[in-house]
Amino acid sequence: LLLLLLLLLLLCPNGTRQRLPQTIIIGVRKGGTRALIEMLSLHGDVVAARNEVHFFDWESNFERGLSWYVSQMPLSLPGQLTVEKTPAYFTCSQVPQRLHRMDPNVKLLLILRDPTERVLSDYTQVFYNRLQKHKQYHPIESVLLKDGEMNLDYKALNRSLYYLHMQNWLQYFPLGHIHIVDGDRLIEDPFPEMKKVEKFLGLSPQINASNFYFNKTKGFYCLRDHGRERCLHSSKGRAHPEVSRPLLDQLYSFFHEPNRKFFQLVGRTFNWND
Ligand code: A3P
Section 210-229 average pLDDT = 97
Residue 212 belongs to some domain of the structure: yes
Residue 253 belongs to some domain of the structure: yes
Residue 102 belongs to some domain of the structure: yes
| pLDDT band (50, 70, 90) for residue 131 | confident
Return the HEC string of 158-225: HHCCHHHHHHHHHCCCCHHHEEEEEHHHHHHCHHHHHHHHHHHCCCCCCCCHHHEEEECCCCEEEEEE
Mean pLDDT of the chain: 95
**Other residues' Cβ atoms within 10 Å of the Cβ of residue 15:** 11
H-run or E-run covering 122: helix 115-132
Residue 4 belongs to some domain of the structure: no
pLDDT in tens, 14-56: 889 999 999 999 999 999 999 999 999 999 999 999 999 999 9
Residue 10 belongs to some domain of the structure: no
Q: Which domain holds residue 196?
A: 18-266
| pLDDT band (50, 70, 90) for residue 134 | confident
pLDDT of residue 271: 96
Residue 8 belongs to some domain of the structure: no
Number of independent structural domains in the chain: 1
C-alpha 217 to ligand 1 mean position (Å): 15
Assess whether the C-beta atom of 232 lies below 6 angstroms from ligand 1: yes
- Told to judge if 30 belongs to the known catalytic residues of this protein, a careful annotator would answer yes
pLDDT of residue 224: 98
Give the residue numbers of the binding site for 3'-phosphoadenylyl sulfate: 30-34, 113, 121, 221, 236-240
Report d(CA 22, CA 109) in Å as an integer: 11
Assess whether the C-beta atom of 34 lies below 6 angstroms from ligand 1: yes
Assess whether the C-beta atom of 124 lies below 6 angstroms from ligand 1: yes
Residue 238 belongs to some domain of the structure: yes
Among 30, 199, 218, 261, the active-site one is 30
pLDDT in tens, 229-254: 999 999 999 999 999 999 999 999 99
Report d(CA 257, CA 149) in Å as an integer: 16
Residue nearest to atom 11 of ligand 1 (CA): 32
Q: Is the pLDDT of residue 7 over 80?
A: no
Residue 59 belongs to some domain of the structure: yes
Instruction: Say what the pTM is.
Output: 0.95
CATH number at residue 201: 3.40.50.300
Of ligand 1's atoms, which has the minimum distance to the CA of residue 221?
23
Assess whether the C-beta atom of 90 lies below 6 angstroms from ligand 1: no
**Other residues' Cβ atoms within 10 Å of the Cβ of residue 170:** 16
Section 101-129 average pLDDT = 96
- Higher pLDDT among residues 135 and 57, named by residue: 57
Residue-wise burial string across 198-218, b where 16 or more C-beta atoms lie within 10 A, e elsewhere: bebbebeeebeeebbeebeee
